[in-house]
Amino acid sequence: MTEPFRVAIAGLGTVGAGVVEILQSNAAQVAMRAGRPVEIVAVNARDKAKERGVDVSAYEWVDDAAGLAGVEADAVIELIGGSDGPAYDLVKAALAGGKHVVSANKALLAHHGTELATLAEGHGVSLNYEAAVAGGIPIIKAAREGLAGNKMSAVYGILNGTSNFILTKMRESGRDFDDVLKEAQDLGYAEADPTFDVDGVDAGHKICLLASIAFGVQPEFNKVRMRGIREVTSADINFAAEFGYRIKLLGIAKDRDGLINITVEPCLVPEATPLGTVENAYNAVVVKGDFVDTPLLTGLGAGRGPTASAVVADIIDLARGLHVPTFGIPAKALKKPDFIDPATIKQHYYLRLTVTDQPGVIADVSAILRDHDASIESMVQHGRDPGQPVSVVLVTHDVKRGDIEAACEEISKLKSCLEKPYLMRIEHQL
């Protein structure tokens, strides 16, 4: 009889319990696809008495997460979370001890990916993390293996389901951010502290990892520019629709002749494009390769089932004996990325101004834009209310980011400008 592939699981929260459920319920199917049985030998969590909806009584209970590195197992499954602390300690110890690791921990890989990839290869084991990016979408496998023959110039997409849900509901209901955020929290889409989701950090971790695979570079999370969706208003969504766009929080990584740009920010995308039609808690990822153009993968990006499914897929790969370098190429071959100055990149922009409705305001704004090499493609203002605040929205032609940001800074100093100008990039080429 073929020896079972033994796993030890750290973390029995939503995803961890889902992994246990799959391995128990679909044991025969998993064994057939893995070529041998997959057996849970030990588990760890903070509260042994907690009801999780799965029976873990048959497995060795290890009180200290790091202790799982010493269990007789072939792989450790890290589902604790966090870029440091117990997760980091466990993964390092497991790799150093010659055990494979499967993780759903995007933050850990974004902060320590090069170190951990080097450690894994030095001890002849694998570090798999399909579940860390886009839940049930097999984007890591697609980029690292399925598209390995391509030179990739861009990877981008909707990488946070919570933000996409909020933006969808704002558009459908006309409500503002705070109201829809509360609904998302009530439904379990958003955490009590939604910072990582709505401020772009979660998507930043994910696009950092995708960029490393796509471009063969070391992950450097501190170089990812991030801006979330807190300042997006229902008025912005309505104005965007008038111009034929929808607002999406996008993670975007592009290689411009060897210079890398990685950003997370709300963008206007044409509503009829594939990304423009992705709604609610769904994710979508596009990889641009020189021989495949722009394949798009879409699906649920989080949740017990999709994320646990991705973890089990990684376990099956390891049980089969399929071992791929962490970022698709040997860790020693990962280049230190050279980053482009974002101020030099040209884009179309959406610019919302809140100004006093009085003669000469648009002339003043136009003069400032002209002085910063920015020209207006179109403009919308609804109604007249002399002497009162009014929203004016401008769409620019291509302009360098540094120039339009400098123009916004100068516009904000006008007496007629009542709020800080709000700027979003327009992505026509996605």
Which tens digits make up the pLDDT trace of 280-326? 999 999 999 999 988 899 998 888 899 999 999 999 999 999 999 99
Does pLDDT of 429 surpass 70? no
Q: What is the mean pLDDT of residues 119-123?
A: 98
pLDDT at 428: 81
| Residues 142/287, Cβ–Cβ less than 8 Å | yes
Q: Is the sign of the CA dihedral 214, 216, 222, 224 positive or negative?
A: negative
CA separation for the pair 200, 162 (Å, rounded) = 10
The CATH code belonging to domain 345-426 is 3.30.70.260
pLDDT at 430: 60
Confidence at 143, pLDDT banded by 50, 70, 90 = very high
Full-model pTM: 0.95
Domain with CATH 3.40.50.720 in the chain: 5-135+307-330
CA separation for the pair 151, 70 (Å, rounded) = 40
Bridge-based pairing state of the strands 245-256 and 259-270: antiparallel
Which tens digits make up the pLDDT trace of 251-277? 999 999 999 999 999 999 999 999 999
Phi-psi region of 360 (alpha: psi -120 to 50; beta: other; left: phi over 0): left
Phi-psi region of 316 (alpha: psi -120 to 50; beta: other; left: phi over 0): alpha
Domain 139-300 grouped into CATH 3.30.360.10: yes
Which tens digits make up the pLDDT trace of 157-215? 999 999 999 999 999 999 999 999 999 998 888 888 999 999 999 999 999 999 999 99
Question: Which active-site residues does the annotation give?
Answer: 206
Q: Where are the beta strands (DSSP E) in 84-144?
A: 100-103, 127-128
pLDDT at 125: 98
Angle, alpha carbons 11-16-18 (nearest 5°) = 165
Name the superfamily (CATH) of residues 5-135+307-330: NAD(P)-binding Rossmann-like Domain (3.40.50.720)
- Tokens of residue 131, six digits: 């579940």
What is the percentage of the chain residues whose pLDDT exceeds 70?
A: 99
Which tens digits make up the pLDDT trace of 344-378? 999 999 999 999 999 999 999 999 999 999 999 99
Domain with CATH 3.30.360.10 in the chain: 139-300
